[in-house]
Amino acid sequence: MPERLAEMLLDLWTPLIILWITLPPCIYMAPMNQSQVLMSGSPLELNSLGEEQRILNRSKRGWVWNQMFVLEEFSGPEPILVGRLHTDLDPGSKKIKYILSGDGAGTIFQINDVTGDIHAIKRLDREEKAEYTLTAQAVDWETSKPLEPPSEFIIKVQDINDNAPEFLNGPYHATVPEMSILGTSVTNVTATDADDPVYGNSAKLVYSILEGQPYFSIEPETAIIKTALPNMDREAKEEYLVVIQAKDMGGHSGGLSGTTTLTVTLTDVNDNPPKFAQSLYHFSVPEDVVLGTAIGRVKANDQDIGENAQSSYDIIDGDGTALFEITSDAQAQDGIIRLRKPLDFETKKSYTLKVEAANVHIDPRFSGRGPFKDTATVKIVVEDADEPPVFSSPTYLLEVHENAALNSVIGQVTARDPDITSSPIRFSIDRHTDLERQFNINADDGKITLATPLDRELSVWHNITIIATEIRNHSQISRVPVAIKVLDVNDNAPEFASEYEAFLCENGKPGQVIQTVSAMDKDEPKNGHYFLYSLLPEMVNNPNFTIKKNEDNSLSILAKHNGFNRQKQEVYLLPIVISDSGNPPLSSTSTLTIRVCGCSNDGVVQSCNVEAYVLPIGLSMGALIAILACIILLLVIVVLFVTLRRHKNEPLIIKDDEDVRENIIRYDDEGGGEEDTEAFDIATLQNPDGINGFLPHYRRGLLGGISQDAV
């Protein structure tokens, strides 16, 4: 270290000495005042009056006092001389005293108050403080009075190369894509040097790579790191350690240096195709496996990573493309083979598939290397399983007429055991679907028979479930739905759609429609209902009413004349025969009740009873109810009064002569037999107003004829 410092001092002072020796003498003629004494090295003489006196004198080489220099890090046995202060007022009589103040005065810099010599008494470091501002002054030694104004000057610490370069942000990490071309920029690094960058080459840095060649290079001045080899392969080596050096003094000998490390990671690109781990895969699966079940997995390995390693799988060929499918598992990066359709060991026992794995993300830079895909063969063996019976149809539809005889065969279901070792089948009905046990089935041949009568009008459809069970293995069962439709037969006669009651005005007109009626039939003929209406044969020539068939399958009843009188006959009964169009046709007779009513002139019915009481106008329904309630209350009071009165008059003890057992009357008369029944017309008693539109004849029996003069 002392040798190097001496060498540096020699390099520094040698040019200055040569310059001072060769400098030509000059004449200093500029006027100066006392304040300039410290700024010049030429003597300045003053007369006794203190006036300036211009002299011609040869200029001496001296210090420039407004700026002095001192080397940093200098340490010797004696303090280092920085410079000297001098004034021409000092004749050498030692009457002038030099005073130093400012940064470091007395602690770092010390002045000889007689000679004006300034020394550095401590070792200086430019990197801690580069310059010091001081003030110099000359005073009278005895009186301490200033001889001239203070003068400020600077002492600069001169730099030496005592600081090595440093990488403050190291160690470094960088990435570069694999397969990059030569000269691809990776990153740049920066070193700092605490030495003075404007003085000498102490802070001039040059960069170089100590370790990491021949893969990377660095530009000496900019420290930009680039790839030095093309097409570096991540799959061969992913990470590189580069040692970088920064050297000052422009890289010359004697300079200081610092190092750092750079870790370069090659990032992946899709430069490798997928590759199946094996060219042939074998899987086995039971024939009764559930649809969608994973049968096996195939995997194509890819040396790339991340999305560059993602592959999609497809079945591109084989005899099982319709039965199997393959899906991609993004997490495991393999293909899952699943079942799409049922298998049958008895039909086909093995399948061969050709599967393909292809990269999802293709890098066009490497497409010329060939297809980024691979293929493999998959063989799937179907294993036999004990399967349940199989019906000949997934559903059955049977039809039966509602008048079918009991135990008649409605239909038949069939089933078989699909296994090679076929087992006999036994059939049964799931009674939860036939709670009323309307059907039976032959356990051996599956024929369904009728157990109870059917009525389509009560239920058109019967849905039952048939069970087929293997005799050898009762756990193997199958079920099939059977829908039984009950077909209609003409077993219901038509009748009125509702209970009609017609009203006829006394002042009605001939041909006036009294009532329109329609019919209904519980049966459902294929071509729809068509009804025929007629009167009873003995009523065809009815003088009071006639009927008319309408296009909408309804019937209108018309009056033949006017002048009906409710006092003469209040009610008419008109029997109407209704026939359907079935085969064979069915018919029934429905009676229409026609009441004669009193009507207003515009045909509004007012009263249909001969003894009808017309309420006074203005009497409300509430008033009528109140009147009826009062009447009922009076009747209850009267009944209670009479009852209490009777109980009060009767004795509590019954006398012997009033014993009720003696009050028995015996009759020995016999009944009249048929003569009694001929005395009254029972039908007339049931309908005293007459039937069939005529007044009754009370002297005729139930089976007697109807008098025609009652019209």
Of 34 and 641, the structure prediction assigns the larger pLDDT to 641
| pLDDT value, residue 41 | 34
For 215-262, give the DSSP string: TEEE-TTT-EEEESSSS--TTT--EEEEEEEEESGGG-TT--EEEEEE
User: What tens digit of pLDDT does each residue of 353-377 get?
Assistant: 999 999 888 888 776 666 788 999 9
| pLDDT value, residue 38 | 36
Query: Half-sphere exposure of residue 232, counting CA atoms within 13 Å on the CB side?
Result: 27
| pLDDT value, residue 523 | 76
Return the CATH class of domain 275-383: mainly beta
Domain boundaries, the chain: 27-158, 172-267, 275-383, 390-487, 495-607
Q: How far apart are CA 10 and CA 71, in angstroms?
A: 12
Q: Is the pLDDT score of 428 beyond 60?
A: yes
Q: CB-based contacts of 634: which residues, under 8 Å, 6+ apart?
A: none
| pLDDT value, residue 697 | 34
| pLDDT value, residue 678 | 42
The CATH fold assigned to 27-158 is Immunoglobulin-like (2.60.40)
Judged by average pLDDT, the poorest of 101-110, 519-528, 614-623, 652-661 is 652-661
Q: Is the pLDDT score of 458 beyond 60?
A: yes
Q: How confident is the model at residue 32 (pLDDT cuts 50, 70, 90)?
A: very low
Cβ atoms within 10 Å of 522's Cβ, excluding its own = 14
User: What tens digit of pLDDT does each residue of 499-509 get?
Assistant: 888 888 888 88
Of 343 and 73, the structure prediction assigns the larger pLDDT to 343
- Please say whether the dihedral angle defined by the alpha carbons of residues 391, 396, 399 and 403, taken in this order, is positive or negative: positive
Q: DSSP 3-state helix, strand, coil percentages of the chain (rounded to 5)?
A: 15, 35, 50
Report the C-alpha dihedral over residues 52, 56, 62, 63, rounded to 10 degrees: 40
CATH architecture of 390-487: Sandwich (2.60)
Per-chain mean pLDDT for the chain: 78
| pLDDT value, residue 527 | 62
| pLDDT value, residue 448 | 95
User: What tens digit of pLDDT does each residue of 553-569 get?
Assistant: 888 988 888 888 888 88
Q: Is the pLDDT score of 682 beyond 80?
A: no
Burial status of residue 14 (CB atoms within 10 A of its CB: 0-12, 13-18, 19 or more): exposed
CATH 2.60.40.60 assigned to domain 495-607? The reply is: yes
Judged by average pLDDT, the poorest of 401-415, 590-604, 646-660 is 646-660
Helix, strand, or coil here: 294? strand
Of 490 and 677, the structure prediction assigns the larger pLDDT to 490
Q: What CATH number should be reported for the domain whose range is 172-267?
A: 2.60.40.60
User: What tens digit of pLDDT does each residue of 158-191 get?
Assistant: 777 778 899 999 899 999 999 999 999 999 999 9
The CA R_g of the chain, rounded to the nearest whole Å, is: 68
| Token pair in block for residue 344 | 């049958």
| Token pair in block for residue 42 | 């030429």
Q: How far is CA 663 from CA 51, 408, 647, 650, in A?
A: 190, 68, 21, 18
| pLDDT value, residue 621 | 56
| pLDDT value, residue 445 | 94
| Token pair in block for residue 345 | 């060991």
Residue type at 333 in one-letter notation: Q
DSSP category for residue 622: H
Q: How far apart are CA 534 and CA 576, in angstroms?
A: 6
Judged by average pLDDT, the poorest of 152-166, 372-386, 614-628 is 614-628
| pLDDT value, residue 623 | 65
Q: How confident is the model at residue 90 (pLDDT cuts 50, 70, 90)?
A: low
| Equal fold, 390-487 vs 495-607 | yes
For 414-459, give the DSSP string: -EE--SSS---EEEEE-GGG-TT--EEE-TTT-EEEE-S---TTT-
Burial status of residue 124 (CB atoms within 10 A of its CB: 0-12, 13-18, 19 or more): buried
Of 282 and 3, the structure prediction assigns the larger pLDDT to 282
pTM over 0.75: no
| pLDDT value, residue 688 | 42
